[in-house]
Each structure stands twice: as structure tokens, then as C-alpha cells.
Structure 1
Amino acid sequence: MKQLSLSILTFAVGLIFSGCNPAPKSKTEVATINSSKDYMVVAYVAGYRDFDFSTIDVTGITHINYAFGNIRDGEAIFDTTKIDGKRLSPDDIVKLNSLKSKNPKLKVLVSIGGWSWSGGFSDAALSETSRAKFAQSCAKFVKDYQLDGIDLDWEYPNQTGAGNIYRPEDVQNFTLMLKAVREELDLMAREEGKNNHYLLSIATGADQAYVDNTELGKLAEYLDFLNIMTYDFYNGLHTVNGHHSNLYPSAQPKLDMNSAVNAVDMHTKAGFPVEKINLGIPFYGRIWKGVEASGDQILFNKAETVGMGIDYIDFYQNINANGYTRYWDDTAKAPYLWNAEEKTFISYEDEQSIALKIEYLKKRGLAGVMFWEYSADHEHKLLNAVLSNMNE
């Protein structure tokens, strides 16, 4: 999940799409799920955004994951440190819980970690004593904020991430940490005598390195579900432009296998059950400037910048301006925008690509979708695409 690594550009980018797009629904017209299968729709909300969480339309949303909680001295805490200039507030959780009056089935969780706050995981998972301390703090966290569960977003076990402490032991210790948290949550539920079940989920990486450094086949015993971050395939570390959330591998370069389908296959081959997997959908794009494109070869070229994050709302709302043309990679099933004059490229998600992802997850038997992040959408355009296709 993104935190400080997702730089939000607060400028408007002029676009013009090739072809027609349906008129967006108003913010009060959010679709609902009406299906024989109860698909999950997990919405991450960033606590550091300037956004009133009481205004979230939860009509079709099943779970909200608030980002983020931190780890200090081996314990999960609500950290009011500023992120991107905004201080997180526990009042946000109160507002999120109040949304249950509109959707009584809504589940509210807090996600611990994220890109910038994963530094304490390795130490917390290191020993039986440290795992017990962390697990007890997670249970207390859930109780203190009247949550339905907790989400762990360790980016990443046995990998440096944002310069974090990491150890080879993380691979097994992550499993033991989840076991400890599961047991502590179950103990709390039994002691309360309310027949509660507190949820435990994780956000997972979409590449082979993540799979190789976790014991995915063992984690299902302790997890209710997981959310694969099937985005950022090309990202803020790449000076070559490309798809950041394509469904299938692109035809070029032929060795580039990054895709949502590949990520799901890696998880299931590692032993994690498909029916507990949510497919990640980004409500933001990646933008490269100074792309050295030649002719029709727009994809996979060197650029003057890395692929910076840009919210959907920050570029799509100016669709009447000239300069950008929408293209479609039919092999990857992914759209992109190209401004030849400015040599600017944007990889993003739209209604067509979302429809194909929902079709895929239904056929594959996945649990549902996760998206990052609610406030980045434009007039619920992407959320409605998710929900309307769930209904079909």
C-alpha cells in the first residue's frame, strides 16, 4: 500500500480521450452489489488525506481499511505524526464507525504499516516474547477503537522496503506473528462472550520476491483474506514508462511478466486459497515526463522522470482539454494516455480495464477486490465501474 512513496501531484493535466465515455454518475449514485455471490469490496482510506471520512458512500463497500497505524517499541499504535503535511486523528475512526448506520454490514479495520511505517515489523516479529507483545497490542488496538479487525501491511518481510530493518528470519517469523495475532484476537472474542470474530488480513506484494520471502501456503490458517497490491508494476523507481496495473503481461517487452493474473497465480501456486484473495485496483495513475518515444512505440521508453503517482481525480476531471490521446494495449488489457507534444505518458485504470478485471476475478473464483484509495476517485467513476460489474 502506498504512503509517503505515493507522491500526489496537485496539478491538473489536460486530457482528451479517443472515443466516447459514459456520463459519470453523481456522487450520490453509487452502485450496489446484488449478486448470488457476496464479493468483497475493500476500500483503503488514507488518514493523511484532507478528506471528511463521514462523507464516504458505503452503499457497495464491504470493508474499510484505514491507513495507517504505526509500530513503536514493538506495539501497534495510532500515531498522530504528520504524513504529507496532515496529522492523523483518532476522530477519523469514530467517523468511519458511524458509517455503519448507513451500512450495518460494513467492517472497519485499521491497517498497520505501509511503505513508510513498516520499519518496526522485523523486530516485533523476532521472538516469541516480541510477537506476544505485538499481538496483545493489536487486540488492545481493536478494542480501544471498536474495530472489526486489523490489517497488517508489512512492506516487506526480508526486504529493505523503505530502508527498513529486515532479516532472513522474517520469512518464518511473519507466519508466527500472524498466528500470535490470530490467537490473541480469538482469545479476546471468547472473553467478551459476544460470539464475535475479529478479522485479520494482510496486504501482499505482487511479485516473485514477495512470494519467495513469505510462507503464503501457511498463512491462510490465520487470515480471513488478503489483498494483493496488483499495481505499481512500473513505478516511482523506474525511469522507463510502462503499465502499472495491467491485467495480463504485455507483448513487449516479452520478458516482462508483471501482471495481475501472474500475481494471483504466484499466490495460489504458493498454496494460498484463491477464495481468500482480493484483487488490488489502483484509483491513481503513474505519470512519466520527457519520454523518448519514437513513432508508435510509446510504451517502454526511457523518460526524464520516474513514474510519479497521480490521483485519478487530478487528471481525469479535465477531459475536455486537448493534448492527450487514450490508447489501449489489447494484450495487457490496459489503457494509457499519451501527449506527443509534451512527451508525457500516464498509466492508469479506467472503466474498460476494471470491467475485464472483474470478469477475470469472477471466473477465477477470487473473493473480490481491494482498491487504493477512496478519495482519489473522480465522482465515484472507478468505484461505480467496480460495483456495476460485480452486479453482472
Structure 2
Amino acid sequence: MNNAIEASNYSPQTAFMAYPHPDAFIVCTYFVAWAIYARNHNVFDLPVQNLTHVLYAFANLDAEGRVFLGDPWADTDKHYEDDSWNDTGNNLYGNFKRLGLLKKANRHLKVSLSIGGWTWSTNFAGVAACPEKRANFVRTSIELMNNLGLDGLDIDWEYPKTSDDADNYVSLLRELRQAMDQYATEKGDQIPYLLTGAMPCGETQYSLLRLNEMNQYMDAFYLMAYDLAGSWSDAAGHQSNLHGGEINVDKAIQHYLAQGIPSRKIVMGMPMYGRAFQNTDGIGHPFEGIGPGTWEQGVYDYKHLPLDGAVEYYDGESVSSYSYDPVKRELVTYDSPLVIDRKAEYIARHKLGGAMFWESSSDHNTEHDRSLVGSVNRALRQHAPLDSSPNHLDYPSSIYDNVRAGFP
């Protein structure tokens, strides 16, 4: 790969690191374990031909740094209709078996385990501050990657709060990168294992991070370029505007670039949901209440938007969209296909790595003319193909018989 090595003084094994290919785009989505329940959204529903990477949310970590799966039944145990109850040995089932089968059938599809998230970031600071706990984190996360047959790890620490946290974050990444390289060396594997992070777009959070130091250990920075406005705001606002206002996506991207992050490592996150403001006269106006939402208050699945009675609007200056119901006086801020088109143009123009979505259960079917994954694919493919670098299928030391056998 061109530009595959970032100069580093920590280890010659940095050769295992790989940027996204300079002539191809990432299209990535989070898949959440809980989607298989009330949402009835399963791994086999993923539009794999229009995706290059899947981030599985989430694994948790305890106070001693041990990383463990958040929902073992969904993750490794659930038997689907074509899973036999008569298999011999110790076999992997659940979502991770399904992901392994997808990887086998679609060798371009890479799957990483995302650790943390908003709810499960509580222990990151204490773990990152302690060498022994960092060692536990590194050991157990790589064990999961190996046993489940994955292609990488994604760190979703929301958020480091102090200068010490930022320093310790670098230490955690360094030790994790070194261990991932050693794992690859021991396997004789020349396909890179991916170390990525879900990264903030709020100035308070990103200005604290040692981004230039983090860069030498990370393959991609998945920018959480959403939730820029919500129930915590003083007024109704855009939640993922590319330009305009005190906080916007372009401002965050320019900061990452200024800190030395190569453009191809920056992947722009986009929401597959809308945030609601009730009893408001529009963007920039006060509001009272946020409404019931689809699964949580104030948050609506994108595939249900615009809501009945609401009209969708596009703001070309800020590159954002929203719907407004003048009778209910309800505004919902979200990304429409037109916004996705414009953001894809921005990604191509600025030579960014691609697009990421939170999260897959909220989109239309990819053939639907309003599908966001479909929209970003059509737009990005006008400039370059999607990343087709190969995934991993060889895990001879997995604890699961069917993973060792290559997901037969």
C-alpha cells in the first residue's frame, strides 16, 4: 500500500499498520448487539456489498482492565435457524458466528470489536492510568479478537477529561499496538490488524487529546460528527452540520488535520437518527421538550423521518437538513440523502478516508432511494472505489472449533 508506514520510534513492527488505501474509501457502520431484540435487525441484514468495515458495539471493561463481552447470549450463544444443536466441540454462535460467515463470503469486509461507548467508558481513566490494568486490557482485548475471529479493535472512550487521561490514552494505544503487532508476527500474518478509535468532535474533548502522538499507533480516526446539538442545548440546532455555528464538522476535521493526522486516516461519522426539539419556532429558537423518540426520548430512527405532518428542509450554507411540523412546532435534525451527497463530495475533495454511520438498524434497506448507506456509496464511488483490502480468516489458536476451521 502507498503511504502504509507512518514514521515511528517505538517499534520496527509498525510496518503492520496500514492507512486506508489512498485510492479507495472506507464505508463503515456500527452494529449494536441489542439490535437483534425489539429492532429485529440482525447481522445478515447488513448491506455488506456497500460496506467495507463493521464496528461491533460494545465490549465492556471492568475496573481491573479486563475486557469482556456485553451480551454473551447475543454475541456468542444465540442459535439461529440454521445452527445445529448437535454440533460437537466448543463452537461459536450468535452474532460473531454470523459476522464470521459474512467475512468468509465477502473477503473485503473487516470487523472490529468496539470497546466502551457512552455507557461503558466509566473505567477507562483508571485502567489507562495503571500499567498493570493496561496490561489486562491489552491481553483480554486481543484474546477476544483472536477467539472471535476479528480484524481489529476500536477504542470508544467517551471521554478523557484531564491532561493525565490524554497521556495515559497514548500509553494504552502504544501498548495495544505493540501487542497487536506481536500477535500478527507470531501468526506470520502480513494482513494488518486494525486499531481505530471513535473520536470526539466537540472542541472541549478533542483539544485535550495528544492526537499527533496517537497517530503513530492508530489506523483510522472515526469522528463522531453528530450530537452537536440535542436536549442539552440552549436552543434547537443542527446536530451534524458541516459548516456554520460555534461547532461544526469541518472545524473538528481541520483541527485533526492541523494536529498532523493524515487526511486518509480521518473518517467522517454521520448519524442514522434524528434529534428532536419540541415547542420551538425553528433552528436557533428556544424549545421545550424533546418528544418520545423511537427507542429513547428525543431520538428518532432515520428510516421514520420525516415524521408525519413534517416537511423536510435542506440548509445549503451549513450543509444540514431537518424537518419541521408547524402544527406540533416540532423540529428534528438529521442527515438527508442530499446532505450525505454533499458530505461525500467534501470527503473526496479533502481526501478523507471515508464515511462511518451510527448505527445500522436505523437506515432504510440499502436499495431504498433514501438509504444513507446507499447514498454515500453512490456519491463516493463517483470519485474512487471502496476499500477492498482482505480480511482475516485464519485463527489457529481460537478457543472455538469452528473459528479455527475458518467458519465452515
TM-score by shorter chain over 0.5: yes
Find the partner of 1:210 among 205, 210, 213. Answer: 205
The normalised TM-score by structure 2 is 0.78
**Identity between Structure 1 and Structure 2 (%):** 29
Q: Does residue 293 of structure 2 align to residue 302 of structure 1?
A: no
- Which residue type is aligned with residue 38 of structure 1? A
In the alignment, does 2:121 pair up with 1:121?
A: no
Kept in 2, the 8 Å contact 1:236–1:309? The answer is no
- Cα distance in 2 for partners of 1:140, 1:379 equals 34
The separation in 1 between residues aligned to 2:46 and 2:132, in whole angstroms, is 40
Cα gap change, 1:128/1:36 in structure 2, threshold over 3 Å: closer, same or farther? closer
Task: Find the aligned partners of 2:334 and 2:241 in 1 and give their Cα distance.
Answer: 9
Deviation at 1:141, TM superposition (A): 1.3
Contact 2:243 2:249 in 1 (8 A): yes
Give runs of ≥4 in structure 1 deviating > 6 Å: none
Does residue 362 in structure 1 map to residue 348 in structure 2?
A: yes
Is 1:341 aligned to residue 327 of structure 2?
yes
Letter in 2 for 1:373: E
The 1-side partners of 2:22 and 2:351 are apart by 13
Give the structure 1 partner of residue 42 of structure 2: 52
Contact residue 22 and residue 264 of structure 2 kept, 8 A: no
| Residue of structure 1 in register with 2:188 after alignment | 193
Partner of 1:169 in structure 2?
Answer: 164
Q: Would you say the 8 A contact 1:199–1:224 is kept in 2?
A: yes
State the one-letter code of the partner of 1:140.
E
Residue 27 of structure 2 is aligned to residue 41 of structure 1:
yes
Amino acid at match of 2:195: L
The offset of 1:310, in angstroms, is 1.0
Q: Which has the higher helix share?
A: 2
* Paired residues for 1:374-385 under 5 Å: 374-380=360-366, 381-385=371-375
One-letter amino acid of the structure 2 residue matched with residue 349 of structure 1 = D
Runs of 5+ in structure 2 lacking a partner? 1-20, 77-93, 292-297, 383-408
| Distance in structure 2 (CA, Å) of the matches to 1:273 and 1:353 | 24
User: How far 1:351 moved relative to its partner?
Assistant: 1.1
Counterpart in 2 of 1:27? Answer: none
Distance 1:194 1:273 in 2: 25
Q: Would the aligned equivalents of 1:59 and 1:102 in 2 still touch at CA under 8 Å?
A: no
Tell me if the contact between 1:75 and 1:124 (Cα under 8 Å) persists in the aligned partners. Answer: no
Q: Name the stretch that deviates more: 42-51 or 304-313.
A: 304-313
How many residue pairs end up in the alignment?
330
TM-score (norm 1): 0.81
2:98 is paired with a residue of what secondary structure? Answer: helix
In structure 2, what is the equivalent of residue 26 of structure 1? none
What SS does structure 1 have at the residue aligned with 2:34? coil
1:236, CA displacement in angstroms?
A: 3.2
Q: After superposition, give the CA deviation of every residue in 1:272-308 in whole Å (9 maximum; x if it has no partner).
A: 22110000111111111111x2xxxx21111111482
| Structure-1 separation of matches of 2:262 and 2:213 | 10
Asked if 1:286 is matched to 2:275, the reply is: yes
Instruction: Give 1:266 shift.
Output: 1.2
The root-mean-square deviation of aligned C-alpha atoms, in Å, is: 1.8
State the shift of 1:331 in Å: 1.3
The separation in 1 between residues aligned to 2:163 and 2:350, in whole angstroms, is: 33
Q: 1:45: Cα distance to partner? A: 0.8
Matched, 1:80 2:64: no
Measure, in 1, the Cα distance between the counterparts of 2:191 and 2:336. Answer: 38
Structure 2 residue matching 1:378: 3-state secondary structure: coil
Deviation of the 1:328 alpha carbon: 2.1
Q: Distance in 1 between matches of 2:156 and 2:188?
A: 29
Question: Matches of 2:67 and 2:208 in 1, distance apart?
Answer: 23
Equivalent residues of 1:290, 1:305 under 8 A apart: yes
Match of 1:182 in 2: 177
The residue aligned with 1:130 is 133
1:54 and 1:98 in contact (8 A); partners too:
no
Q: Deviations over 1:237-269 (max 9, x none)?
A: 2252110011111xxxxxx32111111011111
